Amino acid sequence: MAKKPILGLFETADNAADAGDALKSAGVAPTDFDFLTDAPYPEGAFGEREENHRLYIFPFVGALIGLTVGIMLTSMTQMAYPLVQGGKPILSMPPMAVVTYESTMLTAIVFTIIGIIFESRLPAFKEGLYDTRITEGYIGVLVNVDEEQLTSTQTLLTQAGAIDVVRKDGGSGA
Amino acid sequence: MQEGKPLQSKQINRELLLTILNSPKWFFTTVSVLGIIVMVAMGAAGYMINQGFGVTGLNRPVMWGFFITNFVFWIGISHAGVMLSAILRLSKAEWRRPATRAAEILTVFSLMTAMTMPLIHTGRPWRTVYWIYTLPFVPYDYARGIWPNVRTPLVWDPSAVYTYLTSSILFVVVALIPDFAVLRDRTTGMSHRIYGLLAMGWQGNARQWKLQIIAGVLLSALILPVFVSVHSIVSWDFGMAVSVKSWHSTVFAPYFVVGAVHSGVSAVAFVLILLRYVYGWQNYIRHEHIDALARLLVVVATGWFYFLVMEILFGFYGREADEIAVRDYQFMVSPWNIWMMIFVGVTYFLPVAIWLSRSARRNLWIMSLACISVNIGMWLERFLIIVPGLARKQLLTFDWYTYTPSAVEWIIVGGTFAMVTMLMLVIARVVPLIPLYDIKEGEILRTEIKIGRVTVPAVFRED
């Protein structure tokens, strides 16, 4: 059965963390709830699951591609029009190193950006439930549960100190 | 140390989004006036391109003048932003929070402005498409398939600058995503749709924040080497020129990099003071931040002064006739010797004397004066490297001539200052110049600790 989202809004980090503990005790899988905030909290502040990522691979892949492109660009373009200048070799290493370095760094950075967006699971225009009060400082606890568990989850969030509980079907109330 | 009072999220949103959600009365007038200045400068550039270089003061042997001076100056300013942001992020300096965004955006606009200078300077800007390194497969001469010559610093330079520009823009945009989400939640209509698109569905979950924090550190670590390479390569435009003796200096790369940091950090301090004054951000840009920047500047300025002395000392010590002739020109011939004295005075002795005093560091008027003074000096520095070097004693020079900038050059250079100011004001209408989430994070981590009989403000810091 498809799961339905329900969002509890909390004023303090302590209450949100309590809600997380209560959800775990109620048997909700850690992958089924998330904490939404308007600023980064210290890792583990809500007792949330550890997030693994592979961001560090992206700059290395980018750097390798940039290095290859840089070497090809600097060598092949010079070979295409082999004009000797000032007795310097056609494939002179110092200038090739400069341009290759820049292309390596450029693609490493571009790939890092792609990695950040990809690993952040963005763009995510149609995902989950959201409330604009989160960017006013409220902490959202977003839970995905089976439809029949919505009411019990709402009660659980309210008991943990939620000032409001929002449901996708329009149901709301603390 | 934290000197400010605690702030709530709602208050932070309200105060820092003030520039976007409510336009001050002076905004359109100021932007219009600056826009007119920029258009006049563009008109002057168009006139120069149409009439030729004869309308400038450039002539043999001084073929680099105001435009290239201004190019190096703006590249220097651009070094504040990302360097300041990157180093402070990597070192987790608490006082970075209000400074990073404005510094990064200043980097982007000053780089863009800097690149207009060599384009105008070529006299035929349409022939410079090959400079755009992000389009590397565009040959220089389409018909004959001639490619840019990678053996010249004049090709390394755009490759470095465009790498830095692309990286800086991406750095700024990624850090803006959470703030776009705040704007998405506070706007309606078309603005809401645009900010929603830019926020890409950001929710602020733990994974997204974790990636955002790592992104700041990782991108800082990647951009720092690019930042060092950019002004090093700009210095090689001079250092690797065969004919101009006084430019043949191995110390040029670090000298230029430290000089860029000096002028750039001063510019950031001045921009922060302006933002505080114009938008009333006293709660965010506090005296402690400007004080910290000034203390950093004492070290940077002294490092720069050391390289300046080394550069001059090596010039004299080598006793090469051409080099001595240029130094003679710089130090003994009026008006160059007067400009030299002004340059050293306003770049080092005056501002450092100011920054040594705590009360002066915390007086925003005096700090503004010191920051402007540094930037006047750093502009003069580039001018005094370029023009006297070209004007005297070059190998194969058959013509000795000095340089007087024309009205066209003055207008174009003046236009670049108006352009950066205008772009900063316009961007302040679109994105928050102080990162909201960074300030909010600072508030979350703020605490107080009791030591003996005193309670002192403190900040919790994660490893």
Q: Where are the domains of chain B?
A: 9-459
Decide if A38 and B233 are in contact by the 8 Å CB cutoff: no
What CA–CA distance (Å, rounded) separates B43 from B407?
Answer: 12
Q: Which residue has the higher pLDDT, B223 or A81?
A: B223
CB distance B84 to B99 below 8 Å? yes
Q: Which residues in chain B are closer than 8 Å to A122, comparing Cβ atoms? A: 177, 200-202, 208
Model confidence at B243: pLDDT above 80: no
Longest CA span, chain A: 82
B118-147 residues touching A, CB cutoff 8 A: 133-134, 136-137, 139, 145-147
- Residue B85: per-residue pLDDT: 80
At what angle are helices B336-344 and B364-391 packed, to 10 degrees?
A: 150
CB distance B291 to B316 below 8 Å? no
CB distance B440 to B20 below 8 Å? no
Q: Tell me the shortest Cα–Cα distance from B314 to chain A, in angstroms.
A: 25
Decide if B150 and A77 are in contact by the 8 Å CB cutoff: yes
Asked if A125 has any chain B CB less than 8 Å from its own CB, the reply is yes
At what angle are helices B407-428 and B100-122 packed, to 10 degrees?
A: 150
Decide if A142 and B152 are in contact by the 8 Å CB cutoff: no
- Residue B22: per-residue pLDDT: 79
Model confidence at B1: pLDDT above 50: no
**Residues facing residue B59 across a β-bridge:** B62
Q: Which of B363, B355, B285, B360 is nearest to B96 (CA)?
A: B285
A2-31 residues touching B, CB cutoff 8 A: 13
Mutate to test the interface with A, among B8, B10, B142, B150 (most CBs of A within 10 A): B150
Task: Compare CB distances from A95 to B136, B150, B212 and report the shortest one's residue.
Answer: B150
- Residue B8: per-residue pLDDT: 81
Task: Compare CB distances from B136 to A42, A73, A135 and report the shortest one's residue.
Answer: A73
Model confidence at B373: pLDDT above 50: yes
Q: Which residues in chain A are closer than 8 Å to B212, comparing Cβ atoms? A: 40, 116, 120
Dihedral of the alpha carbons of B268, B272, B277, B278, in degrees to the nearest 10: 80
Model confidence at B423: pLDDT above 60: yes
Q: Which residue has the higher pLDDT, B202 or B326?
A: B202
- Residue A47: per-residue pLDDT: 85
pLDDT tens digits for range B95-145: 788 888 988 999 999 999 999 999 899 888 877 766 664 455 555 555 566
Model confidence at B460: pLDDT above 60: yes
Q: Which residues in chain B are closer than 8 Å to A142, comparing Cβ atoms? A: 203, 205
- Residue B134: per-residue pLDDT: 46
Residue B89 has which token pair?
């992020």
Give me the mean pLDDT over the A101-119 stretch: 95
Mutate to test the interface with B, among A98, A114, A118, A143 (most CBs of B within 10 A): A98
The pTM of the full predicted model, rounded to 2 decimals, is 0.91
A48-67 residues touching B, CB cutoff 8 A: 48-49, 51, 53, 55-56, 59
Q: Which residues in chain A are closer than 8 Å to B160, comparing Cβ atoms? A: 98, 102
Residue A86 has which token pair?
């000032």
| CATH 3.30.70.120 location in chain A | 4-49+127-167
Residue B353 has which token pair?
């004397």
pLDDT tens digits for range B271-308: 999 989 988 888 888 888 899 999 999 999 999 999 99
Give me the mean pLDDT over the B160-178 stretch: 92
> Does domain A4-49+127-167 fall into CATH 3.40.50.1470?
no
Mean pLDDT of chain B: 87
- Residue B3: per-residue pLDDT: 60
Q: Which residues in chain A are closer than 8 Å to B443, comparing Cβ atoms? A: 39
- Measured CA angle at A103 (ends B252, A121), to 5 deg: 125
What CA–CA distance (Å, rounded) separates B432 from B411?
Answer: 31
Residue B222 has which token pair?
């990647």
Choices 3.90.850.10, 3.30.10.20, 3.30.420.40, 1.20.1630.10: CATH for B9-459: 1.20.1630.10
Asked if B215 has any chain A CB less than 8 Å from its own CB, the reply is yes
Asked if A117 has any chain B CB less than 8 Å from its own CB, the reply is yes
What CA–CA distance (Å, rounded) separates B73 from B282?
Answer: 30
Mutate to test the interface with A, among B97, B164, B222 (most CBs of A within 10 A): B222
Q: Tell me the shortest Cα–Cα distance from B13 to chain A, in angstroms.
A: 7
- Residue B151: per-residue pLDDT: 82
Task: Compare CB distances from A136 to B9, B152, B437 and report the shortest one's residue.
Answer: B9
pLDDT tens digits for range B53-62: 899 999 888 8
pLDDT tens digits for range B185-238: 999 999 999 999 999 999 999 999 999 999 988 998 999 999 899 989 999 988
What CA–CA distance (Å, rounded) separates B289 from B269?
Answer: 9
Q: Which residues in chain B are closer than 8 Å to A132, comparing Cβ atoms? A: 185-186
Q: Report the share of chain B in percent with pLDDT over 70.
A: 92
Task: Compare CB distances from A101 to B133, B181, B229 and report the shortest one's residue.
Answer: B229
Residue of A nearest to B206 (CA): A35
Q: Which of B34, B231, B206, B266 is nearest to A120 (CA)?
A: B206
Model confidence at B31: pLDDT above 90: yes
Neighbours of B173 (CB within 10 A): 15
Give me the mean pLDDT over the B74-94 stretch: 82
Asked if A109 has any chain B CB less than 8 Å from its own CB, the reply is yes
- Residue B343: per-residue pLDDT: 94
- Residue B40: per-residue pLDDT: 97
- Counted across chains A and B, CB pairs separated by less than 8 A come out at 196
Q: Tell me the shortest Cα–Cα distance from B227 to chain A, in angstroms.
A: 11
Q: Report the share of chain A in percent with pLDDT over 70.
A: 95
| Residue A152, Cβ density class (10 Å: 0-12 exposed, 13-18 middle, ≥19 buried) | exposed
Task: Compare CB distances from A98 to B137, B156, B207 and report the shortest one's residue.
Answer: B156
Q: Report the share of chain B in percent with pLDDT over 90.
A: 50
Asked if A114 has any chain B CB less than 8 Å from its own CB, the reply is no
- Residue B452: per-residue pLDDT: 82
Q: Name the residue type at position B38.
A: V
Asked if B11 has any chain A CB less than 8 Å from its own CB, the reply is no
Asked if B398 has any chain A CB less than 8 Å from its own CB, the reply is no
